Amino acid sequence: MHQPAPSPLVVFDLDGTLVDTAPDLIDTLNGLLIREGLAAVPFDEARRFIGGGARLLIERALGAHGRDCGPPEIDRLYAVYVDDYAERIAALSRPFPGLVDALDTLDAAGCRFAVCTNKLERLSVKLLEALGLADRFAAICGQDTFVAMKPDPRALLGTIAAAAGSPSMAVMVGDSGTDIVTAKAAGVPVVAVDFGYTEVPVESLAPDRVIGRYDDLPAAVAELLGLRAG
Ligand SMILES: O=C(O)COP(=O)(O)O
Ligand SMILES: [Mg+2]
């Protein structure tokens, strides 16, 4: 008996890829810093610090301004940050332009979708529910879903398994070096979006494709998976 071939799976990063979350992430960060008597971080600088999870965002923001806090202090700030962020999860955050149409086109071509993010799982679900997008994903996996978070390839391979997909029929879509390194380590082709949050231009990180708008995603996925373009 043959197993049916798994449908193609497109695994998306969340912050900076599916959703422009920087305004809420950075408002939360700066609200916290100001309450703590610390300097707020300029938006464009803080935007580049997103991608490794909220704890790293806080560490980078403090480090950029010469504050080196020990783990207990970071733990305390992180706990407050997570609570504050949950309160404003989708106050300003919106899907990037063209995302929903691209999902519709890929869906019609037989693709399924999953999320592999370094956000906490519960915040990821809450955000996507608030935006009416949660039901589109077969799995929504965060930094605390598996034993390891991106760039560990087990985060991506675990997400693909949770969505009942196969690594040989999967593509990762992400905005940062973290996503590209993760996908390469997992042996999964990767499309980089160039409108997200990254410290270096994504082109310099050798993804399989770079797209500047969601309209170009269906063709990139079709090429990488050898599908007939819709
Ligand atoms: O919030 C972060 O820093 C990381 O989130 P991402 O993995 O969805 O980019
Ligand atoms: Mg990202």
The domain ranges of the chain are 9-20+93-225, 22-87
Positions annotated as catalytic residues are 13
Residue 1 has what pLDDT? 57
Considering the entire predicted model, what is its pTM? Answer: 0.95
Report which ligand 1 atom has the smallest distance to the Cα of 150: 7
Rounded Cα–Cα distance for residues 31 and 41 (Å): 10
Domains 9-20+93-225 and 22-87 share a fold: no
Torsion, Cα 158 164 170 174, to 10 degrees, reads: -50
Nearest protein Cα to ligand 1, atom 4: 51
Rounded Cα–Cα distance for residues 177 and 198 (Å): 7
Q: How far is the CA of 38 from the centre of ligand 1 (A)?
A: 23
Mean pLDDT by 10 residues, the chain (230 residues): 80 98 98 91 94 91 83 93 97 98 97 98 98 98 97 98 97 97 98 95 97 98 80
Mutational pocket test of ligand 1: of 24, 85, 119, the residue with most ligand atoms within 8 Å of the beta carbon: 119
Report which ligand 1 atom has the smallest distance to the Cα of 196: 9
Residue 230 has what pLDDT? 45
**Residue 156 burial class via C-beta count within 10 angstroms: exposed 0-12, middle 13-18, buried 19 and up:** buried
Report which ligand 1 atom has the smallest distance to the Cα of 18: 8
CATH number of 22-87: 1.10.150.240
Residue 3 has what pLDDT? 66
C-beta separation of 16 from 178 below 8 A: no
Measured from CB, residues less than 6 Å from any atom of ligand 1 are 13-16, 50-54, 57, 117-119
ipTM (interface pTM): 0.96
- Identity of the amino acid at 213: R
User: Which CATH number among 3.40.50.1000, 3.90.1170.30, 2.30.110.10, 3.40.50.1820 corresponds to the domain 9-20+93-225?
Assistant: 3.40.50.1000
115: left (phi over 0), alpha (psi -120 to 50) or beta: beta
The first and second tokens of residue 205, run together, are 């990180």
Residue 2 has what pLDDT? 67
The dihedral through the CA atoms of 170, 158, 114, 89 has a sign that is: negative
Rounded Cα–Cα distance for residues 89 and 131 (Å): 10
Q: How far is the CA of 127 from the centre of ligand 1 (A)?
A: 12
Say whether 175 counts as a known binding-site residue: yes
